[in-house]
Amino acid sequence: MKLIAQTKSISNRLLTAIIVSSIISGCGGGNSDSKLEDAGNPDSTVEDGVALRDSDLTLYENEYQHRFWYDVKYKDGKNRHITFKVSEQSTAKNGEDFELITSRSTSNNAGYFTLAIHDDDRFEGKQTIVIDIMVDGQFIREETITLDDTNSTSLTDHAAIEKRGAVGHGETTVVIDDTMYELSIVKGLFKYDLLTNKTVRKREFPAYTSFGSIFQYDGDIFSYRNDKIQRLNTDSLLWEIISAPSSPTNEMGPVSYVIQSTQVVNDTLYLFGYQNVQDEKKPINFSYDFQHKKWKELSNRPHFNTFDQSVLFGNDGYPLAQSVQFGNDVYLFRNGQAMIYNTSKDEWSTDPVEAKIGTTQPHVAGKYAYNFLVEDNAAYLSRFNLEKRTQEVQQVSNSQRGFSWEIKGTFMYKGRIYLANNEATRLLSAYWGDN
- Looking at the predicted structure, is the pLDDT value of residue 23 above 90? no
- Looking at the predicted structure, is the pLDDT value of residue 22 above 70? no
In angstroms, the CA 275 to CA 184 distance is 24
In angstroms, the CA 102 to CA 108 distance is 17
**What would the pLDDT profile of 212-232 be if each residue is shown by its tens digit?**
888 999 999 999 887 789 999
Residue 161's contacts (CB-CB under 8 Å, 6 or more residues apart) are 192, 197, 199, 420, 425, 426, 427
- Of residues 62 and 257, the one with the higher pLDDT is 62
Contact 229, 243 (CB under 8 A): yes
Question: 372, exposed or middle or buried, with CB in 10 Å at 0-12, 13-18, 19+?
Answer: buried
For 286-302, give one letter per residue: b (16+ CB within 10 A) or e: bbbebeeeebeebeebe
3-state secondary structure string, the chain?
Answer: CEEEEEEECCCCCCCCCEEEEEEECCCCCCCEEEEEEECCCCCCEEEEEEEECCCCCEEECCCEEEEEEEEEEECCCCCCCEEEEECCCCCCCECCCEEEEEEEEEECCEEEEEEEECCCCCCCCEEEEEEEEEECCEEEEEEEEEEECCCEEEEEEEEECCCCCCCCCCCEEEEECCEEEEEECCCEEEEEECCCCEEEEEECCCCCCCCCEEEEECCEEEEEECCEEEEEECCCCEEEEEECCCCHHHHHCCCCEEEEEEEEECCEEEEEEEEEECCEEEEEEEEEECCCCEEEECCCCCCCCCCCCCCCCCCCCCCCCEEEEECCEEEEEECCEEEEEECCCCEECCCCEECCCCCCCCEEECCEEEEEEEECCEEEEEEEECCCCEEEEEEEECCCCCCCCCCCCEEEECCEEEEEECCCCEEEEEECCCC
pTM value is 0.82
pLDDT, position 258: 76
- Of residues 259 and 175, the one with the higher pLDDT is 175
Residue 42's contacts (CB-CB under 8 Å, 6 or more residues apart) are none
In angstroms, the CA 328 to CA 346 distance is 10
Pairing of strands 188-193, 198-203: antiparallel
pLDDT, position 149: 97
**What would the pLDDT profile of 300-320 be if each residue is shown by its tens digit?**
887 655 444 344 433 333 344
CA distances from 66 to 222, 356, 396 (A): 21, 29, 25
The pLDDT > 70 percentage for the chain reads 73
In angstroms, the CA 214 to CA 261 distance is 8
- Of 11-15, 147-151, 331-335, least confident by mean pLDDT is 11-15
Contact 379, 423 (CB under 8 A): no
- Looking at the predicted structure, is the pLDDT value of residue 166 above 50? no
Mean of the pLDDT values across residues 141-169?
A: 78
Are domains 49-148 and 156-246+254-303+319-430 of this chain identical in fold? no
Please report, for the chain, the start and end positions of each structural domain, with discontinuous segments joined by +. 49-148, 156-246+254-303+319-430
User: Right CATH number for 49-148 from 1.10.1740.10, 2.40.10.120, 3.40.640.10, 2.60.40.10?
Assistant: 2.60.40.10
Residue 78's contacts (CB-CB under 8 Å, 6 or more residues apart) are none
Q: What is the largest CA-CA distance in the chain?
A: 85
pLDDT, position 303: 66
- Of residues 45 and 221, the one with the higher pLDDT is 221
Q: Which CATH class is domain 156-246+254-303+319-430?
A: mainly beta
Average per-residue pLDDT for the chain: 77
- Of 59-63, 159-163, 188-192, 408-412, least confident by mean pLDDT is 159-163
- Looking at the predicted structure, is the pLDDT value of residue 153 above 70? yes
